[in-house]
Structure 1
Amino acid sequence: MAHIHLCWELGGGLGHAGRLKMLAQALLARGHRVSLGLRDLVATHALLADLDVPKLQAPVWLHSAAGLPPAANLAEVLFHCGYLEPAALRGMVAGWRALFTLLQPDLVVGDFAPTALLAARAMGLRSAAIGNGFSMPPPARPLPAFRDAPAARLAASEQRMLATANVMLNGATPYRHAANVFQGDLSLLCSWPELDYYRRATDGAQWLGPSFVSGGGIAPCWPAGEGARVYAYLKASHPAHGALLRALADEGCRVLAYIPEVAAGAAPPLISEQILYAEAPLDLSLTLAQADLCVCHAGEGTLAQSLLAGVPLLMLPTHAEQLLTARSVASSGAGYNAAPLAPDADWRAIVRQLLADDAYRAAARAFATRHASFSQRQMNETMAKQLECLLA
Structure 2
Amino acid sequence: MSRILFAWELGGNLGHITRQLPIARQLRRMGHQVFFVVRDTAAAAQLLTPEGFAYAQAPVNVDKKRLPHPVNYAEILIASGYADPAVLLGLVQGWISLIRLFKADIIVVDHAPTALVAARLTGLPAITIGTGFEIPPGHLPLPSIRPWEFIPTDRLLRAEQYVLERLNALATPLHGGTLERITDLFQGARKVLATFAELDHYGIREGENYVGPIYTGSTGHAITWHLIDKPHVFAYLRPDAPGFENLLEALSKLSAEIIVVAPGTKPAHIQAFAKPNLRILTQPVQTEQLFKMTDCAVTTGGAGTVSQCLLAGIPLLLLPQNVEQFLMGLRVEALGAGIAVRNNRQEHDFAWLLEDVLNKSRYRQSAQAFAQQYAGYEPGCTIDKVIQLIDNTLKTSACSDMNAS
Q: Would the alpha carbon gap of residues 347 and 93 (structure 1) be closer, same or farther in structure 2, given more than 3 Å must change?
A: same
Which residue number corresponds to residue 402 of structure 2?
Answer: none
Which residue number corresponds to residue 143 of structure 1?
Answer: 142
Which residue number corresponds to residue 276 of structure 2?
Answer: 273
- Please report how far the alpha carbon of residue 274 of structure 1 lies from its aligned counterpart in structure 2 after TM superposition: 3.0
Q: Distance in 2 between matches of 1:229 and 1:257?
A: 11
- Overall identity of the aligned pairs, in %: 33
Which residue number corresponds to residue 400 of structure 2?
Answer: none
Q: Distance in 2 between matches of 1:21 and 1:82?
A: 27
Residues 128 and 183, structure 1, Cα contact 8 Å, conserved in 2? no
1:333-352 equivalent positions in 2, closer than 5 A: 333-343=336-346, 346-352=349-355
Q: Would the alpha carbon gap of residues 279 and 64 (structure 1) be closer, same or farther in structure 2, given more than 3 Å must change?
A: closer
Number of equivalent positions: 389
Give the superposed CA RMSD. 2.0
Which residue number corresponds to residue 57 of structure 2?
Answer: 57
Return 110-119 or 23-32, whichever deviates more. Answer: 23-32
Residues 333 and 363, structure 1, Cα contact 8 Å, conserved in 2? yes
Which residue number corresponds to residue 194 of structure 1?
Answer: 198
Q: Distance in 2 between matches of 1:299 and 1:13?
A: 9
- Please report how far the alpha carbon of residue 224 of structure 1 lies from its aligned counterpart in structure 2 after TM superposition: 4.2
- Please report how far the alpha carbon of residue 271 of structure 1 lies from its aligned counterpart in structure 2 after TM superposition: 4.1
Q: Is the partner of 2:56 in helix, strand or coil? A: strand
Q: 1:233 aligns with which of 236, 239, 242?
A: 236
- Please report how far the alpha carbon of residue 119 of structure 1 lies from its aligned counterpart in structure 2 after TM superposition: 1.0
Which residue number corresponds to residue 173 of structure 1?
Answer: 177
- Please report how far the alpha carbon of residue 140 of structure 1 lies from its aligned counterpart in structure 2 after TM superposition: 5.1
Q: Distance in 2 between matches of 1:282 and 1:39?
A: 23
Q: Would the alpha carbon gap of residues 134 and 279 (structure 1) be closer, same or farther in structure 2, given more than 3 Å must change?
A: closer
Is 1:284 matched up with 2:287? Answer: yes
Q: Would the alpha carbon gap of residues 75 and 152 (structure 1) be closer, same or farther in structure 2, given more than 3 Å must change?
A: same
Return 350-359 or 248-257, whichever deviates more. Answer: 248-257
1:67-106 equivalent positions in 2, closer than 5 A: 68-106=67-105
Which residue number corresponds to residue 293 of structure 1?
Answer: 296
Q: Distance in 1 between matches of 2:68 and 2:154?
A: 15
Which residue number corresponds to residue 379 of structure 2?
Answer: 376
Q: Distance in 1 between matches of 2:258 and 2:244?
A: 13
1:154-165 equivalent positions in 2, closer than 5 A: 154-165=156-167
Return 313-322 or 338-347, whichever deviates more. Answer: 338-347
- Please report how far the alpha carbon of residue 70 of structure 1 lies from its aligned counterpart in structure 2 after TM superposition: 1.0
Which residue number corresponds to residue 390 of structure 1?
Answer: 393
Residues 214 and 285, structure 1, Cα contact 8 Å, conserved in 2? yes
Q: Would the alpha carbon gap of residues 306 and 109 (structure 1) be closer, same or farther in structure 2, given more than 3 Å must change?
A: same
- Please report how far the alpha carbon of residue 120 of structure 1 lies from its aligned counterpart in structure 2 after TM superposition: 1.3
One-letter amino acid of the structure 2 residue matched with residue 329 of structure 1: V
Residues 16 and 111, structure 1, Cα contact 8 Å, conserved in 2? yes
Q: Is the partner of 2:198 in helix, strand or coil? A: helix
Residues 22 and 380, structure 1, Cα contact 8 Å, conserved in 2? yes
Return 107-116 or 180-189, whichever deviates more. Answer: 180-189
Residues 336 and 363, structure 2, Cα contact 8 Å, conserved in 1? yes
Normalised to the residue count of structure 2, the TM-score between the two structures is: 0.90
Q: Distance in 1 between matches of 2:387 and 2:161?
A: 34
Q: Distance in 2 between matches of 1:178 and 1:139?
A: 9
Which residue number corresponds to residue 122 of structure 1?
Answer: 121
Residues 199 and 332, structure 2, Cα contact 8 Å, conserved in 1? yes
- Please report how far the alpha carbon of residue 255 of structure 1 lies from its aligned counterpart in structure 2 after TM superposition: 1.0
Q: Deviations over 1:166-194 (max 9, x none)?
A: 22233422222122335542111111111
One-letter amino acid of the structure 2 residue matched with residue 358 of structure 1: S
One-letter amino acid of the structure 1 residue matched with residue 42 of structure 2: V
Q: Distance in 2 between matches of 1:225 and 1:249?
A: 18
- Please report how far the alpha carbon of residue 144 of structure 1 lies from its aligned counterpart in structure 2 after TM superposition: 1.5
Q: Is the partner of 1:42 in helix, strand or coil? A: helix
- Please report how far the alpha carbon of residue 37 of structure 1 lies from its aligned counterpart in structure 2 after TM superposition: 1.0
Which residue number corresponds to residue 18 of structure 1?
Answer: 18
One-letter amino acid of the structure 1 residue matched with residue 182 of structure 2: A
- Please report how far the alpha carbon of residue 357 of structure 1 lies from its aligned counterpart in structure 2 after TM superposition: 1.2
Q: Distance in 2 between matches of 1:10 and 1:265?
A: 30
Question: What stretches of structure 1 of length at least 5 have no aligned partner?
Answer: none
Normalised to the residue count of structure 1, the TM-score between the two structures is: 0.93
Q: Is the partner of 2:288 in helix, strand or coil? A: helix
Q: Is the partner of 1:122 in helix, strand or coil? A: helix
One-letter amino acid of the structure 2 residue matched with residue 280 of structure 1: Q
Residues 59 and 94, structure 2, Cα contact 8 Å, conserved in 1? yes
Q: Is the partner of 1:294 in helix, strand or coil? A: strand
Which residue number corresponds to residue 154 of structure 2?
Answer: 152
Q: Is the partner of 1:45 in helix, strand or coil? A: helix
